[in-house]
Amino acid sequence: MSGFFDIPSDLQHSWLGLVGLHLREALLPVLAGLVVSLPLAQLCVRLRWLYPPVLWVTTVLYAIPSLAFFVLLIDYTGQTELTVMIPLTVYSLVVLVPAIVDGVRSVPQETLAAATAMGFGPVRRYFQVQLPIAVPAVIAGLRVATVSSISLVSVGALIGNQGALGNLINDANIYNRPELAVNAVLSMAALAILADVLLVAVRLLLTPWMPRAGRRKQPADVPDPATAALEDAVR
């Protein structure tokens, strides 16, 4: 009886090797999606009329089954990781573009007006004010895109073992080793949870300026003695 982590040799990887492969195939598309989404979203913010059609196109692209994508791409990119990663990149847009647009739009009007009035040019204003304030929304989008990407990589098994951990499901069938399928599902779930936790940590790190749930009430509501004394002194 083979062990839980004994991977059939046709996959040419150890379990850890598959995990690494899986992460690469899942995360590179999200990264690429982010690189495409940022300018696209900014365009949608600046040109309001562009947003509905962009949203429509990303949604339609998301509705195309990955198998159809593979059929289209396989002539150009062959049975490679790239063939798997291109559709995943396209899928990530449906989450990332609206997340970034909403995030950038959520910056209060006063903040924007103040930035303009202080002499921020449009580029500086975007990078130093709008984007940092949009970070929570962007990361919320990244969390959804990442988790879904991690699970979607497994369809790569359809084009000849390009599905990383997903290939194990195929092999479970071929070799009649159901524990491989269990391994695949559990490993992918663990990766997804881990990635999500990491993204939450990144957000906490990047946004010390956000009110934290569960913290003591803000001084705005319940003034601490020092601020109360200060306010009194001023009156």
Using CB under 8 A as the binding rule, whether residue 49 contacts another protein is answered as no
Residue 4 CA to residue 182 CA, distance in Å, equals 9
Q: Which residues contact 229 (CB under 8 A, 6 or more apart)?
A: none
Closest CB to another protein among residues 63, 205: 205
Shortest distance, position 144 Cβ to another protein, whole Å: 23
Using CB under 8 A as the binding criterion, the count of chain residues that bind another protein stands at: 34
d(CA 172, CA 94): 33
CB of 107 to another protein, least distance (A): 9
For 45, the enclosing helix (H) or strand (E) is helix 15-46
Site for another protein contains 133 (CB under 8 A) = yes
Site string for another protein, 199-218 (x = CB under 8 A): --------xxxxx------x
In whole angstroms, the minimum distance from the beta carbon of 117 to another protein comes to 4
Smallest distance, Å, CB 140 to another protein? 16
Q: Does 47 bind another protein (CB under 8 A)?
A: no
Site track for another protein across 96-125, x = CB under 8 A: ------------x-xx-xxxxxxxxx--x-
Tokens 């580029």 belong to residue? 123
* Residue among 151, 110, 192, 142 nearest 38 (CA): 142
Q: Which two tokens stand for residue 45?
A: 């913010």
In terms of Cα–Cα distance, which of 152, 145, 100, 148 is closest to 126? 100
Cα(83)–Cα(77) distance, integer angstroms: 6
3-state secondary structure of 78: coil
Q: Is 132 a residue that touches another protein (CB under 8 A)?
A: yes
Q: Which is nearer to another protein, 9 or 216 (CB)?
A: 216
Q: Which residues bind another protein (CB under 8 A)?
A: 108, 110-111, 113-121, 124, 129, 132-133, 135, 207-211, 218-220, 223, 226-227, 230-235
